[in-house]
Amino acid sequence: MCPGEGAVGGAVLVGDALGAANPFTGEGIAQALETGRIAAEAVHDHLSGRCPMEVGYGERLREAFPHRNDWLDWLAWLAERGGFRMREFWEVVSGRVGSVGRGLRAIALEEKPPAAALAGADQHLVQKSWAKAEEIIRSRNPMLAKLLSSVREAHPREAGGVPAEYWKQAREHGEGLDGPLALADTGGLGCRGRWGRGGKLGDGAAFAARPLGRGRALAGNDGRAGGGDVWLTGGAHPGGGVLVRARSAERLCGSAVAQRTGAFPRATQAPANPHTGCGDDRSRVAARRRDFLRRRLFGRRLGSRMNESLLTHLIRTVSWSYWRSHSVRTVLTMIGVGMGVATVVSIANISVSVLDSFRKMIDTLAGPAHFEVTNWGAGVDASLLDEIRSTPGVQEANGVVEAFVPLADHPEEQVFLFGTNFLESNAWEALFPSDAVHIEDSLLFLSQPDSVAAQRALLERAGLKTGDPLVLLTASGPAEVRIRGEIEAGGSAQLFGGAVLVMDLPAAQRLLGKGNKLDRIAVIVEDGMRADEVGERLTSEVAGRAQVGHAQGRGERAELLLFSLRATLLIMSLGAVIVGSFIVYQTVGISVQQRYRILAILNAVGVRRRALLHLCVVETFLVAAAGALVGLLAGQVLSRVAAGPVGGVASQIWLRVDAAEHVSSTSGVLVALSVGIMAATVAAYLSARATLASPTVEALRPSAMTPDPGGLDARRVLIASALLSAVWLVALAPPDLGLAETVSLVIVTHSLGYAAVALIAPSLVQGAGWLARRAVQRSTGFASRLAAENLSRDARRSGATVIVIASAFGIATVVAVLAQSFENSWMTWIRQRFAADLYVGHGERVQLIAGPPMTRDLGERIGAVEGVAAVEPIRTPEGAWPVLSLD
């Protein structure tokens, strides 16, 4: 048998001893496992008399690594031809140049590297060709030269190779063994005498030890164990230098092959091994294994801390080490979780802030009144005021006129003009506290019809002071008032950002053209009187002339008007939850997938998959919790920043609200934290489970990748189609459902839509990859062809990105379609309903707070404008669609 075929004497070389490592990267763990599996099968064939070891192993190696000589061809080709251009490189990468091309393609696309099986003897040839090839490449292709030289500098040992030493030691050990065969690896042969116990590690061992802490993963390099017909030597048994190979070799020899053939002598039939517990009962084996692993993996200090769980140790050693060595990746994961949480928190806070501001405005304006007497938009006759005051049980009744009026100098700013006898009544103490209202001459204030008192915030904003004139745009044109008072605090300061003017009632009536009308009469019931009885008396008193309602009823009516706003915010919140969940899921999923090799190595060294699953979940929980806290803070800041603009939009569409006062939504915070942490944990669980479900050998391949199944997944497409169809099931809902039920139904059906997108996303990626490959089929551009090849390499991971973008864009589309449809329908309704070319309104969108009615004089003036054919007066009842008034 020649050395290159992997067996000599009684020894079968595997892994590094065979030279089975990627010459570019020096990576050899996967090759060690794979050659171990091949060797085990060859050993089985040999023992069963089917095929001699000397023949079977070599054939199997050649079959498994058919392109190993391609590299020699390629290097020779490079050396002889002396030329290498990008186009040729692409030809090679695309696999058009036969076996040589497949070799390069494997490197470029991270497929199974054919160079992995370069035997030790082959490496000599590689070394001879290398210098010449590198010289040529360096002069012709800087990119490839950089790669080659960097790899060589990073792994000089691989480039150098010492196959002769391997073979020498293999012969010594192989011939001296009691059994007919031995599996050897550098852990047992190459390391012996050269690196020794606690000395320098091989690349594979160092890689295995890295997440655990250098030096901890290694024990003696010269252990021998086993029995029967098979000897496991050096790195091929758990006491050896490289636990990765040891565990896998044991598994391969002891279970996979044996169970399949039923003839191979199982490792468990051997005498009890002090390390592995082979041959012992299962519980003792498990206990010994745990003890062994703890001592080997985490050092002897663990012996004094036996109460500490394996999980805690894994987090302390593996996770902490990973977080520190990949701090940027860890921070990015936290940011991903934080973004999801921040999105939900900010939307919830904005929603609550807007609605809370609105409720406060209603409560403030209502004051201490128990009842309000109104007459829709027509106004209440002022003569009713005395009748109401004389009604038994009524302590106080105050007439009010109120309107939003623009400032002439700042038309974009509307001020709330509030007219009542605020100086004579204590009913408005909360709104205008007496110690906060500064009027130098009360007599002058009351006697002059143009007197107003203004909120200090408004004065500061407009650069005004007491005594200055102020021009308001009223229904009858610009009207000048004079500031004769200043209000520095109180409930009015909370209203509309302080844009509040207060006037004496008669002056306000005159200014707003109300005549003898009042917008409402606020009624306070005497202490000790039953409000219901007083309300009934008032109702009978004003019957036919006005309506009596509870003061809080105005808030309820207004909340009804704001229902569409609430529904919109609720749907936005839903979108935020979904998008946040996807962001968190995708971030964590990628984070776990990026660590699949570390997880596979841990599994290979003996940490059970269940423990790894727990490790992933707990570790992600910790990262997600930290990210969620950061997101919580970010969400608070974001909502403070965005509440103002959102409130402004709401003011323009519905009615004036001031969301500047920030309110934190407790339920929103809880939902956000739950969504963030749960989505992260579920993502970690699913990703880790998927990762750990693949065979360890596959996961440890340097080029391990999710295979592209090709084509569309018909089952996913069918389920997604069914879910999309189910979105329309909401149409079957009965019309008398309550608010909560209706909104819940809408949310559930929308969630089905997003779930459908999540299901179909990988198939979309595959479809896009297929199209891209077709599109660039004739292209000679390297980047485009490589991109097309890569597009569907990992459809599941790319699909997660698609889901995030699609869900975010979906939310935006829903809002855009809703807004556009609303505007279009509204304008269409106006055109059909009124059939006019121009509409003039008094400025109020919703007549929750009565606006100044337009005068007939204004209608006449509009009619006198050149080009106006007719003026048609319109008035709609309070509470209907936005009021259009024309005179």
Partner 1 sequence: MLGAQIVLVSLRLVTGWQLTLTFPGMELLIGLVLVALISAAAGYVPARIATRRSAQAVVAD
Contact positions toward partner 1, by CB under 8 A?
Answer: 24-25, 146-147, 150-151, 153-155, 563-564, 567, 571, 724, 727-728, 730-731, 733, 735, 737, 739, 742-743, 745-746, 749-750, 753, 805, 809-810, 812-814, 816-825, 828
Among 544, 537, 683, residue whose Cα is nearest residue 621: 683
Instruction: Report how far residue 681's alpha carbon sits from residue 217's, in angstroms, rounded to the nearest whole number.
Output: 29
Taking the complex as a whole, how short is the minimal distance between the CB of residue 753 and partner 1, in angstroms?
5
Taking the complex as a whole, how short is the minimal distance between the CB of residue 759 and partner 1, in angstroms?
15
DSSP symbols for 476-538:
TEEEEEEEEEEE-SSGGGGSGGG-EEEE-HHHHHHHTT-TTEESEEEEEEPTTS-HHHHHHHH
Taking the complex as a whole, how short is the minimal distance between the CB of residue 116 and partner 1, in angstroms?
15
Taking the complex as a whole, how short is the minimal distance between the CB of residue 825 and partner 1, in angstroms?
4
Q: Which residue's CB is nearer to partner 1, number 649 or number 812?
A: 812
Taking the complex as a whole, how short is the minimal distance between the CB of residue 136 and partner 1, in angstroms?
18
**Structural Rg of the chain based on CA atoms:** 41
Q: Which residues pair with 182 in a beta bridge?
A: 11, 231
Q: Which residue's CB is nearer to partner 1, number 263 or number 816?
A: 816
Q: Which residue's CB is nearer to partner 1, number 718 or number 733?
A: 733
Phi-psi region of 672 (alpha: psi -120 to 50; beta: other; left: phi over 0): alpha
Per-residue tokens: 734 = 């009965």
Q: Which residue's CB is nearer to partner 1, number 471 or number 739?
A: 739
Does residue 260 contact residue 200 with C-beta atoms inside 8 Å? no
Instruction: Report how far residue 590's alpha carbon sits from residue 333's, in angstroms, rounded to the nearest whole number.
Output: 9
Q: Which residue's CB is nearer to partner 1, number 771 or number 817?
A: 817
Q: Which residue's CB is nearer to partner 1, number 468 or number 823?
A: 823
Q: Which residues pair with 470 in a beta bridge?
A: 481
Q: Which residues pair with 549 in a beta bridge?
A: 372
Per-residue tokens: 754 = 């997003």
Phi-psi region of 95 (alpha: psi -120 to 50; beta: other; left: phi over 0): left
Taking the complex as a whole, how short is the minimal distance between the CB of residue 582 and partner 1, in angstroms?
15
Q: Which residue's CB is nearer to partner 1, number 302 or number 347?
A: 347
DSSP state at residue 317: I
Per-residue tokens: 390 = 């004389």
Among 6, 16, 55, residue whose Cα is nearest residue 174: 6
Taking the complex as a whole, how short is the minimal distance between the CB of residue 563 and partner 1, in angstroms?
6
Hey, what amino acid is at 198?
Answer: G
Q: Which residue's CB is nearer to partner 1, number 371 or number 654?
A: 654
H or E element at residue 548: strand 547-550
DSSP3 helix / strand / coil % (the chain, rounded to 5): 60, 10, 30
Q: Which residue's CB is nearer to partner 1, number 109 or number 567?
A: 567
Q: Which residue's CB is nearer to partner 1, number 543 or number 649?
A: 649
Taking the complex as a whole, how short is the minimal distance between the CB of residue 250 and partner 1, in angstroms?
30
What angle, rounded to 10 degrees, do the helices at 666-693 and 563-593 form? 30
Q: Which residue's CB is nearer to partner 1, number 548 or number 757?
A: 757
Taking the complex as a whole, how short is the minimal distance between the CB of residue 680 and partner 1, in angstroms?
21
Q: Which residues pair with 472 in a beta bridge?
A: 407, 479
Taking the complex as a whole, how short is the minimal distance between the CB of residue 272 and partner 1, in angstroms?
42
DSSP state at residue 116: G
Instruction: Report how far residue 700's alpha carbon sits from residue 727's, in angstroms, rounded to the nearest whole number.
Output: 43
DSSP state at residue 252: I
Residue 214 three-state SS: coil
Backbone φ and ψ of 279, nearest 5°: 90, -5
Q: Which residue's CB is nearer to partner 1, number 139 or number 825?
A: 825
Instruction: Report how far residue 827's alpha carbon sits from residue 617's, in angstroms, rounded to the nearest whole number.
Output: 54
Q: Is 525 exposed, middle or buried, given 0-12, 13-18 or 19+ CB atoms closer than 10 A? A: buried
Taking the complex as a whole, how short is the minimal distance between the CB of residue 745 and partner 1, in angstroms?
8
Q: Which residue's CB is nearer to partner 1, number 464 or number 748?
A: 748
Instruction: Report how far residue 467's alpha carbon sits from residue 465's, in angstroms, rounded to the nearest whole number.
Output: 6
Per-residue tokens: 234 = 């050096």
Taking the complex as a whole, how short is the minimal distance between the CB of residue 746 and partner 1, in angstroms?
5
Taking the complex as a whole, how short is the minimal distance between the CB of residue 739 and partner 1, in angstroms?
8
Backbone φ and ψ of 745, nearest 5°: -65, -45
Does residue 456 contact residue 488 with C-beta atoms inside 8 Å? yes
Taking the complex as a whole, how short is the minimal distance between the CB of residue 756 and partner 1, in angstroms?
9
Q: Which residue's CB is nearer to partner 1, number 728 or number 839?
A: 728
Query: How many Cβ atoms from other residues are within 10 Å of residue 828's Cβ?
Result: 10
